[in-house]
A and B are shown apart, each in its own frame.
Chain A
Amino acid sequence: MYILQARDIHKKFDSLKVLKGVSLQVEKGEVIAIIGPSGSGKSTFLRCLNHLETIDRGEIKIEGEFMVRNSPDGYALYSTDKEIDQIRHKMGMVFQNFNLFPHKSVLKNLTMAPILVKQADKVEAENKAWQLLEKVGLSDKANNYPFELSGGQQQRVAIARALSMEPDIMCFDEPTSALDPELTGEVLQVMKDLALEHMTMIVVTHEIGFAREVANRVIFMDEGLIVEEGTAEQVIVNPHHERTRAFLSKVLMAR
């Protein structure tokens, strides 16, 4: 059984068609890297999966439950807000710009959602937060504020914060794009560790190296469609499509 199924997702912003029928099925424990040029719709697709954007047509099913499906006349019909909230709790999200809460300490960034949303006990939530900070190597920063951390450290906190809600699927939207090159490594390492623990991960990324090393499956998107998908070997090393090749040569040449 798939942990996430997206079928024939269509999405437009005003008249601009951003997604023109994208489908994806994810098995538990899979690590999926979505690559592609900017404007290809890869981030939008990810944002549709966890309801930061709404779709116009298509179906999204998470752990067997529909978040959205097609009505008989072919338009996206969302489940009730309550059902959607239930479903979304299973997904964690890491943003390009971290989006930490600047007015809260690192520890509070991690305990806020469990306490407010899951009515977790404060002490319990804090213990869990300490464990997560340990895991991302930042337990010494628990009482610091986000502005006191480097970009790489902030992103590691953001990953820990997403994990604090114990999601089954982790979504990453270009998690290293806002970082200085020398800081990407520490973030990618945390993500690799997660992959080793068999976390299900969907990663929109420009890090071809990461995709190649960690992803079970690589998806190349362009102009709102999946052009090519397969193992890293198939898509990155021996791409079939001209557009994939053109993209990869551009990206790889830039290094």
Chain B
Amino acid sequence: MDYILMLLPSMLKGLSVTLKLFFLTLMVALPVGILMGMARISKFKPLKWFMEFYVWLFRGTPLLLQLLFMYFGLMTIGIRLEREIAAYLAFVLNYSAYLAEIFRAGIQSIDRGQYEAADVLGLNRFQTMKNIVLPQVFKLVLPPMGNEVINLVKDTALIYVLAISELSRVARTHVMRDDTFVPFIIAAIFYLFMTGTVQQFFKWLESRFDYYR
């Protein structure tokens, strides 16, 4: 018990690093993902093609590799980013690509009739997106989004490769130093608590959107 209490300060510090990456990624990647999702089906072909390429690139390579690239890769061509900045950048770029795909699918699954009804009532394209399409898309994308956000919680552990002391790296340091498995168990509990919270939050969101079919 004393050992656990002794561990806690550094573990909590690691947790705060993890949480910061989690929230920052979500806050930026969510709006960016929506915009990219719309761009992905844009009538302006070059934009559409660029987005297709972008999604292919960032979904098609390991996030781990992207992290290494943002830090060490850029360094070799003379761009030296802070390790944290490199991590945020890789995460935002990667998660935007995934969220863009989710939103693209959501937008495309809205019935054409909804656009036509809005059109004949005189709503412009922006009003149609904002008032008719996106509110319905949010309901549709909640389940796949929940998956993605839970993945994000766990993916944060990858930034250990940039020697950033997030939760799992702190745990591993203790495991190796103190020759005990306990820090890993504590880390696992922290992760389960975080993913559990995400899961409950999405359950609540889904019930909030349950008022219509």
Contact = CB atoms under 8 A, between A and B. Distances in A.
Interface of A: 50, 52, 85, 88-89, 91-93, 95, 97, 99-103, 112-113, 116-117, 145-147, 161-162, 165
A99 B212 contact: no
Contacts of B122: 85, 88-89, 113, 117, 165
B130 to A, nearest CB: 9
A99 B213 CA distance: 13
Contacts of B114: 99, 101
Given A97-B113, A102-B213, A92 B136 contact: no
Contact of A103 (B120, B121, B212): B212
Given A50-B120, A99-B116, A112 B136 contact: no
A50 B117 CA distance: 12
Interface of B: 111, 113-114, 116-117, 119-123, 127, 131-132, 135-136, 139, 211-213
Given A91-B120, A162-B121, 8 more contacts: A50-B120, A93-B116, A95-B113, A102-B136, A113-B122, A117-B121, A117-B123, A165-B122
Nearest to A81: B124
Nearest to B121: A113
A3 to B, nearest CB: 17
Contacts of A95: 113, 116-117
B211 A113 contact: no
A97 B139 CA distance: 21
Given A103-B135, A145-B212, A52 B123 contact: no
A117 B113 CA distance: 19
A97 B114 CA distance: 10
Most buried by A among B114, B122, B132: B122
Contact of A116 (B111, B117, B123, B136): B123
B120 A147 contact: no
A99 B111 contact: yes
B117 A99 contact: yes
Nearest to B136: A103
A95 B122 CA distance: 15
Nearest to B212: A145
Contacts of B123: 112-113, 116-117
A103 B117 CA distance: 14
27 contacts: A50-B120, A52-B119, A52-B120, A88-B120, A88-B122, A91-B120, A92-B120, A93-B120, A95-B113, A95-B116, A95-B117, A97-B113, A99-B111, A100-B117, A101-B114, A102-B136, A103-B139, A112-B123, A116-B127, A117-B122, A117-B127, A145-B212, A145-B213, A146-B212, A147-B213, A161-B121, A162-B120
Contacts of B117: 93, 95, 99-101
A140 to B, nearest CB: 19
A208 B190 CA distance: 69
A147 B213 CA distance: 6
**Considering the complex of A and B, which 7 residue pairs feature the smallest CB-CB distances, nearest first?**
A113-B121, A99-B113, A99-B117, A93-B120, A117-B122, A147-B213, A145-B212
